[in-house]
Amino acid sequence: MAVVRLEVSDGVGTIRLDRPPMNALNAALAAELRAAALEATARADVRAVVIYGGEKVFAAGADIKEMAGLDVAGITGWVRDLAAAFDLVARIPKPVVAAVTGYALGGGLELALCADFRVFAENAKVGLPEITLGVIPGAGGTQRLPRLVGPARAKDLVFSGRQVRAAEAEAIGLADKVVPADEVYAEALRMAGRFVTGPALALAAAKQAIDDGGDLALSEALRLESALFIGLFGTEDRRHGMDSFIERGPGKADFVGR
């Protein structure tokens, strides 16, 4: 039985984790997550993505029972595959929203960090508890978290391994919105749905410019931005957008995703 599936409706693809009871991340889930991310990337009918673990929990971390029995060689392949799956999620060239209910710990929080936006349930508890196991986050936590909340706050969470409730997560910029638990998925769909009728290629270029540009020197990042901007002049959406602006005013273009 699949533990990750892609469900598509009205232009939004939901990557649904379904490994009861806590969506613990193991090798099988990583492989299926990789496949779902590739499918969401490739499908033209998917214009935005929601990552969702269900009504009760997002993902409570790695499967420690599977991990504990591995030696150095085994864990090397294990974490490489998980990090590669997460990187594919982060590089989906479409807006991605994480719908976080209940616990998002360790690898679960690292997966949520791969999204562009995060909606938290009021009862959400998140954190990176790896330090309490004698290790550190290994699938992006020490890198994506400080880029989002700053190095000092990231060190506080990583060094202590403590859990953060939704209100604090919102205050430090880890959560973009906090809503009642029974509204999380609907709010994530609403956020993702804002982009469904947008210019798909321009949205992909904007995401690439922001994500990749942040790792470059400013001069190189500006060159990347210019190259992506120029490339969009060969798209149908650019023509539709500018023609519509001239003829009907701003914000009225009908984009086709090409």
| Domain boundary assignment for the chain | 4-193, 200-248
CA distance 118 to 51: 9
Question: Who wins on pLDDT, 50 or 237?
Answer: 50
- Please give the CATH superfamily to which domain 4-193 belongs: 2-enoyl-CoA Hydratase; Chain A, domain 1 (3.90.226.10)
The tens digit of pLDDT for each residue in 133-142 reads 999 999 999 9
pLDDT at 65 over 90: no
Q: Global pTM?
A: 0.95
Catalytic annotation present for 171: no
pLDDT at 251 over 80: no
Task: With cut-offs at 50, 70 and 90, classify the pLDDT of residue 80.
Answer: very high
Task: With cut-offs at 50, 70 and 90, classify the pLDDT of residue 25.
Answer: very high
Per-residue pLDDT at 253: 81
Give the active site residue among 110, 121, 187, 198. Answer: 110
**Residue-averaged pLDDT of the chain:** 95
The tens digit of pLDDT for each residue in 193-242 reads 999 999 999 999 999 999 999 999 999 999 999 999 999 999 998 998 88
**Can you list the alpha helix ranges (DSSP code H) found in 102-235?**
107-112, 141-149, 151-160, 166-171, 184-193, 200-213, 218-231
Q: Give the fold, CATH level 3, of 200-248.
A: Lyase 2-enoyl-coa Hydratase; Chain  A, domain 2 (1.10.12)
Number of helices followed by number of strands (H, E) in the chain? 11, 9
Give the active site residue among 85, 108, 130, 209. Answer: 130
Catalytic annotation present for 55: no
Give the active site residue among 107, 138, 141, 257. Answer: 107
Catalytic annotation present for 13: no
Give the active site residue among 62, 200, 205, 253. Answer: 62
Catalytic annotation present for 107: yes
Question: Who wins on pLDDT, 254 or 166?
Answer: 166
pLDDT at 145 over 80: yes
The continuous run of DSSP H or E covering 37 comes out as: helix 27-42
